[in-house]
Amino acid sequence: MGEGMLILNMYTPDSIDCYSLALREAGFEVIDTTNAFDALAIIRARRPVVAIVSTPMPEMSLDEFYFWVKANPATASTIILRAGRDEPEFTADGDLSSLSELPGAMASLATELATE
């Protein structure tokens, strides 16, 4: 598994730029994509620790995305964080309602991973 790797699946270039810059400055490897199907392929190939997904996704619902990641034993451990709260009824492992929450979420994740 790629320790510290994150996948961003954002649908606006501004979101990708903001999140990517903040994460790279914090020392994370970041792979950017703007397509849910590409994100699933990258998750299968690279097995990231975290996938940050913006909603709504044009290609599929967050529930479908979550299902395809968690149904595969090889990728089920990937943590899915939803950026934005546009679809609160959909499944995710956690939420990031704004970029300001990112440092705390990543610090908590790093602590959690270090204890495993």
Q: Name the residue ranges covered by the structural domains of the chain.
A: 2-115
Angle, CA 51 vertex, CA 49 and CA 53 arms, to 5°: 170
Q: What is the mean pLDDT of the chain?
A: 76
Is the pLDDT confidence value at 3 over 70? Answer: no
Q: Which pLDDT score, from 0 to 100, does residue 35 have?
A: 85
43 vs 105, which has greater pLDDT? 43
66 vs 26, which has greater pLDDT? 66
Is the pLDDT confidence value at 1 over 50? Answer: no
Q: Count CB neighbours of 2 within 10 A.
A: 13
pTM score, whole prediction: 0.75
Cβ atoms of residues 109 and 50 within 8 Å: yes
96 vs 22, which has greater pLDDT? 22
What share of the chain has pLDDT > 90, as a percent? 16
Q: Count CB neighbours of 92 within 10 A.
A: 22
69 vs 114, which has greater pLDDT? 69
CATH number assigned to the domain with residue range 2-115, chosen from the 4 options 3.30.465.10, 3.10.20.740, 3.40.50.2300, 3.40.50.1100: 3.40.50.2300
